[in-house]
Structure 1
């Protein structure tokens, strides 16, 4: 047999081996949809939850990402994007497919990248509407996950799905089990103590003290308050997210206030939290909210129970530590042994290739 024939034979065997390793599998996504996917996925469009994808699938899972909704990372969390791209510059080379909420998501671009699967957040899937049919007609499977709901069930399910897509089922189960243990043990302490429900208010502090921004009803931070047995003062007024009338906030007399912020708050007077944020700056921005009209009479302000929390650490498998922080803030006597911010950083050290520095939780006591 000549060298050319041997080469062709070996090439054919290599292709056959690759096909043999591929396995068509039915995935039940968080919406109960049964989706047939070739696993482990070789060409992935990643819509959201990039850090979860890396933590669960390992950094090598990025090698199979052929498109990304870049604005959900670079646009919403630029400091995090910079942290990762400084470590791995090739992230900048992944094609951008646009963002659903901004109506820039390009179906044509997605199809041109020939993905083997598209991984979307529930809100992205719902936002695409009839465009979902165009993608499915092109033979592209769509798998839906959801960390935004902030429920234990969907967090665990989403983690297992990412594990299956990346071939990291064992690692995914370990992360899911750790998350479940943290949430259940936290809830058990609260249940056993039988303490009064603290009236709680949370606001995304992106507009500064002069203007009320949105709060949450039954998702994201609102869902966490509800899960922890708190009395979420937004519940009667806001279903998912939206602003409350300032008079309603004052009349509700919250015992605990959480103000969420990101790195973008470093300019202006918004709440500043996250990567690269100095703790003194974060605390100073929190203190500014005490000067809001009527807030000096609010129980939360009078008792030094106004807290800052990192918005970027919500809607992710990394948020177990933020659940702990909210629990500790709502029921201080029950969680004196827990250091939530250290727990947050420890997750990075264990499962991610970078570790952020900055301020991710804060409190003003005076």
Structure 2
């Protein structure tokens, strides 16, 4: 699997990210323009667009992936942020919102302006232009939704950079992280994170490849538990989030054929398919009127998560499902996907499906150690992955 690497050409005046080769520290050190910060930065982003900056950027708007931005840049990188997508963050990812704003009070001080919806991809173009950032970071769906405004941003001198951590593609994760390292002057940190990600994914792939074919192909149902027990939530196709992870680890993802990446599977289809394993994605959503949404993630204690997961497993129509009868029902934190530590969920799902092959892997520890190393200011207490007792 290709490692998308930073290339610094000795004696050249530009820094580039666009290919499969890996730069050495000596190459960077031999380029005096890179050392003194005067080098132009040229790279191809995840949308295939060439981006050029005449000098390292000093101010950013982060329309998505603030966790990745700060994991690469460190706590001090927040000082460069003038805008974020705050609207809806607290309502849809309360645990994440709380631990980030507690650790970094500047996020709610008013110094960082909200430039649109956290969850709806609609960005406020007028406000973005008025903030005059050097760089606007966005994801692929935001790029598609706001495409008519891209030319306006660029004419205003704002470099638009598209990243992707949604598709669970190794090449997109690593390329996005390389770009962040380049923009933030933290190439070595980005390289370390990519090496960890690649190593973890390759280890999972190698172990699964060595398994007998009869152990593969378990039927897996994934549901987002934001609607509570009484209504089925979204599942995901093989190209997005949980569905992509399930597919990547050699299982039969029941949501594989969903158009658009995600959608609700019919109750009758779920029951008739009789899944071997069930994963319920959780978070802390504000509209928990029935008190039965799946709770997972930062600031969630395990007793609460187990209680909520038991509610889903107790759906009357599920009593005869193989997954329920065999105790193969799991909870996972939906908010912890889309960043460089989400390889821990690939490890966890692989371990749930092939416990003997991954007996020595501790995904929860992988996650904790990552936060401890790259964002130690954050209180990472919570419940991120559980099996129903």
Q: Note closer, same or farther for the CA distance 1:31–1:275 as it changes in structure 2 (3 Å cut).
A: same
Q: Distance in 2 between matches of 1:36 and 1:307?
A: 45
Length, aligned pairs only: 347
The aligned residue for residue 274 of structure 2 is 253
Deviation, structure 1 residue 293: 3.4
Q: Distance in 2 between matches of 1:74 and 1:211?
A: 23
Deviation, structure 1 residue 57: 1.2
Task: Indicate the structure (1 or 2) with the bigger Cα radius of gyration.
Answer: 1
Q: Deviations over 1:13-51 (max 9, x none)?
A: xxxx9xx73332112101211011244320111111111
Instruction: Report the secondary structure of 1:70's partner residue.
Output: coil
The aligned residue for residue 160 of structure 1 is 178
Q: Note closer, same or farther for the CA distance 1:74–1:237 as it changes in structure 2 (3 Å cut).
A: closer
The aligned residue for residue 8 of structure 2 is none
Q: Distance in 2 between matches of 1:82 and 1:181?
A: 31
1:1-366 → structure 2 map (5 Å cutoff): 21-71=37-87, 73-92=89-108, 93-99=111-117, 102=120, 105-194=123-212, 195-217=215-237, 218-264=239-285, 267=288, 268-352=291-375, 353-365=377-389
Q: Note closer, same or farther for the CA distance 1:101–1:51 as it changes in structure 2 (3 Å cut).
A: closer
Deviation, structure 1 residue 101: 5.2
Q: Note closer, same or farther for the CA distance 1:65–1:22 as it changes in structure 2 (3 Å cut).
A: farther
Instruction: Report the secondary structure of 1:193's partner residue.
Output: coil
Aligned 8 A contact 1:101 1:124 in 2: no
Structure 1 unmatched ranges of 5 or more: 1-16
Q: Distance in 2 between matches of 1:266 and 1:242?
A: 20
The aligned residue for residue 3 of structure 1 is none
Deviation, structure 1 residue 125: 0.7
Deviation, structure 1 residue 85: 2.0
252-261 vs 61-70, which moves further: 61-70
Deviation, structure 1 residue 155: 0.5
Deviation, structure 1 residue 75: 4.1
The aligned residue for residue 13 of structure 1 is none
Aligned 8 A contact 1:266 1:272 in 2: no
Q: Note closer, same or farther for the CA distance 1:239–1:253 as it changes in structure 2 (3 Å cut).
A: farther
Q: Note closer, same or farther for the CA distance 1:91–1:214 as it changes in structure 2 (3 Å cut).
A: same
Q: Distance in 1 between matches of 2:283 and 2:226?
A: 8
Aligned 8 A contact 1:182 1:320 in 2: yes
Aligned 8 A contact 2:92 2:284 in 1: no
Deviation, structure 1 residue 139: 2.5
Q: Distance in 2 between matches of 1:99 and 1:133?
A: 21
Dislocated runs of 4+, deviation >4 Å = none
Q: Distance in 2 between matches of 1:185 and 1:265?
A: 38
Deviation, structure 1 residue 199: 0.5
Q: CA RMSD in A?
A: 1.8
Q: Distance in 1 between matches of 2:262 and 2:176?
A: 22
Structure 2 unmatched ranges of 5 or more: 1-32
Higher helix fraction: Structure 1 or Structure 2?
Answer: 1
